[in-house]
Structure 1
Amino acid sequence: MTTDNPARATRAPEYKPVEHHGKEVDEPTTNARQGVENHNVRYVLWISTGAVVVLFGILYLIFFA
């Protein structure tokens, strides 16, 4: 990919170029959602949220039970 903008030259391969059809712009799904789906981000979110809930439960038992 050749471009004048060095930041765009280092984009991940998941990001496809935007296609222009006159006034309409056809933007690929990954670009439109501003991120990629893989990389296990959802698992980090679920595990960390569960850990916080467990931690608050333990703290509740220690201080209020």
Structure 2
Amino acid sequence: MDEQQIIDGLKPVCLCKNIKKRVFLRHIAEGKRTLEELRAATGAGSGPCGGKRCTPKILTILEETGP
């Protein structure tokens, strides 16, 4: 893992719950491939904004990681 990947992994995806990108990447590596699975595993989308801020970011991560 290079320095840029480490920095990217530390970026918050869900601001309400302070869930970092690396958490989502770990769950994707474990086989979670849908928004619903990632939300259930991380608690993302259950904060005060109701997922309005993190949902687009999670979907982008899913697109970037492929099937």
Fold in common (TM above 0.5): no
Query: Normalising by the residue count of structure 2, what TM-score does the alignment of the two structures yield?
Result: 0.24
Which structure has the highest helix share of the two? 2
Query: Normalising by the residue count of structure 1, what TM-score does the alignment of the two structures yield?
Result: 0.25
Q: Which structure exhibits the higher relative contact order, with contacts defined as CA atoms closer than 8 Å and separated by 6 or more residues?
A: 2
